[in-house]
Amino acid sequence: MNKKPTNAINRAALAIGAATVALGVWQWWDESMARQDPTLSGEVPGDWLQRWAVTTHALPTLVLLVALVLAWRWPLVGAVVFGAYVVFALISIAPEFGYVVFALPHLVVGVLFLLAWLAGRRRTTAAHATP
């Protein structure tokens, strides 16, 4: 029996998750380019704050990318990591409307991965229950 989840919910979660990670990479790239131009960032180039800001934008995107790759096989990993990202985003920043809207796709991906995991469990349970 193939344990790899291949249902439509998992594929939708993977597609939307890939889009959110791609947007995160784009955001990180935009932030790093803005930090290199002192007229845009308001900081002196080469400052440790510049590196810290770029790193703090890159790390969540890398974590989401690793979670997306692992969720290909284990949807529960995607549900937990994307859900934790939403909680982290809403706690770490002032929950203004723009940030809530930014976190919504990640919430959708987390819920879809959770639904895919539940569907996979139901399929496995049904397969074991059938004589």
1-47 tens-digit pLDDT: 445 555 888 889 989 999 988 887 887 777 666 656 555 555 555 56
Domain ranges of the chain: 8-129
> How confident is the model over 114-118, as a mean pLDDT?
90
The arithmetic mean of pLDDT across residues 62-91, rounded, is: 89
Tokens of 65: 């990318």
Distance CA 80, CA 9 (A): 16
Q: Give the residue-averaged pLDDT of 100-110.
A: 84
Looking at the chain, the whole-number percentage of residues with pLDDT higher than 70 is 66
Lowest mean pLDDT among 23-32, 90-99, 102-111: 90-99
Q: How far apart, in whole angstroms, are the C-alpha atoms of residue 24 and residue 83?
A: 16
